[in-house]
């Protein structure tokens, strides 16, 4: 298939692009190259004959229309977004513009293209969203596809809005959409403002490892390459109009996750004292959701997908990757806002 992937220069989008090309798809990567983008994530595939890159902003509907006309994709996989909760607290405007208005412009451009082509049933608009739209869980229970939406941060509210738009374009105009809501991703090429790379890189620099609050927040960690495989499966086999929750079956409290990473670093790159001695508890994020957990029954039973790695194994691969790829992450530490406490 020919896929139009938005946000393909980001963390998850680039994993999707690499895997889609390896699976034999053609890919048009549309990305505005914001502070979070790294075309280096695609260095291994940049010369692939099935790969094309278009620098464009999803808020620009006229440009999107020309991209659809020129490239004639069979499906859209929409990952472009502002994605960092802490940045959404400091500057919600960019999140409304890209995540809400950008998704609206993309839906309109996709609908026009699909209608002009005679509304092919095989077309897919796959919207990639987050479990954060469901709000916060107590110690028990998990999010299913029918859990009511209850977003609590500017980021999650903007993603929830975009999910509603995508469903509305299906119900109202018949656009063949799919939605996925996934848990926290981690793995190679993770931008160094997110928790796991921050822990690894601060530890390696001998800097305090910041843990918000008491580190009690629980996340369900999903290895990014497992996620990319799940997305490509849903895009090809998912039922139109349906949403699928994608989780890693790997719940961990932040403090336990940080200690696991420190223990892996103690083993792989021993220092003169345990890395866990650098852990430093800092003021919590305002409105910090306590727990997210995904019930993955639907994707497992309908599509036969399960994560392939445990958290222990995924973290081991991730720590190894950061140790081996300093040339990738070192320049990113200079980008705006990286290394500073945001959203406090
Ligand atoms: N990272 C996670 O753990 C996670 C979890 C759940 C859902 N998601 C969702 O998955 C998607 C991808 O997340 P990610 O972590 O790879 O994000 P990311 O921040 O690493 O990458 C986002 C990409 O989108 C591009 N982009 C931003 N605004 C744009 C615009 N206006 N026009 C075109 N391109 C633009 C950026 O340049 C960047 O390459 C997002 O929709 C996010 O909400 C992420």
Residue 274 in contact with residue 198, Cβ under 8 Å? Answer: no
Give backbone dihedrals phi and psi of 76, rounded to 5 degrees, phi first: -110, 135
Q: What mean pLDDT, rounded, does the chain reach?
A: 96
Provide the token pair at 230.
Answer: 């799940």
Roughly how many angstroms between the first and final C-alpha of the chain, as a whole number? Answer: 44
Q: Which of 31-40, 150-159, 281-290 is least confident?
A: 281-290
Residues contacting 72, CB < 8 A, separation 6+ = 2
324 CA → ligand 1 middle, Å: 24
* Distance between CA atoms of residues 179 and 186, nearest Å: 20
**Residue 209: strand, helix, or coil:** strand
- Label residue 29 by pLDDT band (50, 70, 90): very high
Rg (C-alpha) for the chain, rounded Å, is: 19
Q: What pLDDT score does 190 carry?
A: 97
Nearest CA owner, ligand 1 atom 21: 10
pLDDT band at 343 (very low <50, low <70, confident <90, very high): confident
When pLDDT is cut at 50, 70 and 90, the band that residue 284 belongs to is: confident
Calculate how far, in angstroms, residue 120's C-alpha sits from the geometric centre of ligand 1. Answer: 28
Query: How large is the average pLDDT for residues 146-159?
Result: 97
Pocket of ligand 1 (CB under 6 A): 6-7, 9-13, 31-34, 36-37, 57-59, 79-83, 98, 102, 128, 130, 159, 182, 184-185, 191
Burial class from Cβ neighbours inside 10 Å (0-12, 13-18, 19+) for residue 80 reads buried
Whole-model pTM: value is: 0.96
Three-state SS at 118: coil
Distance 114 CA to ligand 1 centre (A): 24
Residue nearest to atom 7 of ligand 1 (CA): 130
pLDDT digits (tens, 9 = 90+) for 208-236: 999 999 999 999 999 999 999 999 999 99
Count of other CB atoms within 10 angstroms of residue 23: 12
Sequence-separated (6 or more) residues with CB below 8 Å from residue 101: 59
Q: Annotated catalytic sites, by residue?
A: 131-132, 155
Residue 114 confidence (pLDDT) above 80 = yes
How many of the other CB atoms lie within 10 Å of CB of 202? 19
Determine the distance separating the centroid of ligand 1 and the alpha carbon of 82, expressed in angstroms. Answer: 6
Q: How far is CA 185 from the centre of its chain?
A: 6
Residue to mutate, 6, 11, 99, 335, ligand 1, most ligand atoms under 8 Å from C-beta: 11
CA dist., res. 160 & res. 286, Å (int): 19
- pLDDT over 90 for what percent of the chain? 91
Residue closest by Cα to atom 9 of ligand 1: 129
Q: Give residue-wise pLDDT tens across range 72-93.
A: 999 999 999 999 998 999 999 9
Which of 315, 311, 307, 227 is closest to 264 using CA atoms?
A: 315
Residue whose Cα lies nearest atom 32 of ligand 1: it is: 57
Q: Given this model, what pLDDT does residue 193 score? A: 86
């Amino acid at each position: 298939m020919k896929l139009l992937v938005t946000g393909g220069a980001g963390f998850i989008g680039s994993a999707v692009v690499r895997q889609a090309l390896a699976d034999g798809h053609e890919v048009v990567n549309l990305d505005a190259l914001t502070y979070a983008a790294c075309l280096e994530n695609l260095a291994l595939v940049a010369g692939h004959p099935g790969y094309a890159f278009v620098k464009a902003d999803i808020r620009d509907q006229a440009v999107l229309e020309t991209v659809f006309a020129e490239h004639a994709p069979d499906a859209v996989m929409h990952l472009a977004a502002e994605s960092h909760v802490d940045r959404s607290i400091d500057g919600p405007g960019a999140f409304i513009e890209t995540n809400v208005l950008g998704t609206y412009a993309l839906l309109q451009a996709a609908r026009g293209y699909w209608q002009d082509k005679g509304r092919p049933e095989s077309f897919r608009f796959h919207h990639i969203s987050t479990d954060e739209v469901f709000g916060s869980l107590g110690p028990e229970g998990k999010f299913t596809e029918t859990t009511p939406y209850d977003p609590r941060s500017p980021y999650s509210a903007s993603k929830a809005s975009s999910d509603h738009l995508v469903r509305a374009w299906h119900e109202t105009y018949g656009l063949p959409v799919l939605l996925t809501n996934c848990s926290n991703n981690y793995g190679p090429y993770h931008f160094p403002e997110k928790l796991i790379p921050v822990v690894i890189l601060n530890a390696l620099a001998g800097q305090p490892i910041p843990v918000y609050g008491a580190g009690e927040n629980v996340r369900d960690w999903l290895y990014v390459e497992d996620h990319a495989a799940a997305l490509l499966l849903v895009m090809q086999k998912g039922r139109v109009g349906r949403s699928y929750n994608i989780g890693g079956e790997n719940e961990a409290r932040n403090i336990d996750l940080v200690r696991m990473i420190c223990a892996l670093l103690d083993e792989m790159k021993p220092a003169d004292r345990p890395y866990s001695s650098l852990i430093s508890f800092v003021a919590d994020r305002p409105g910090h959701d306590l727990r997210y957990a995904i019930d993955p029954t639907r994707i497992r039973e309908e599509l036969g997908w399960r994560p392939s790695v445990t958290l222990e194994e995924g973290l081991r691969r991730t720590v190894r990757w950061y140790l081996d790829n300093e040339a990738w992450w070192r320049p990113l530490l200079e980008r705006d806002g990286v290394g500073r406490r945001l959203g406090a």
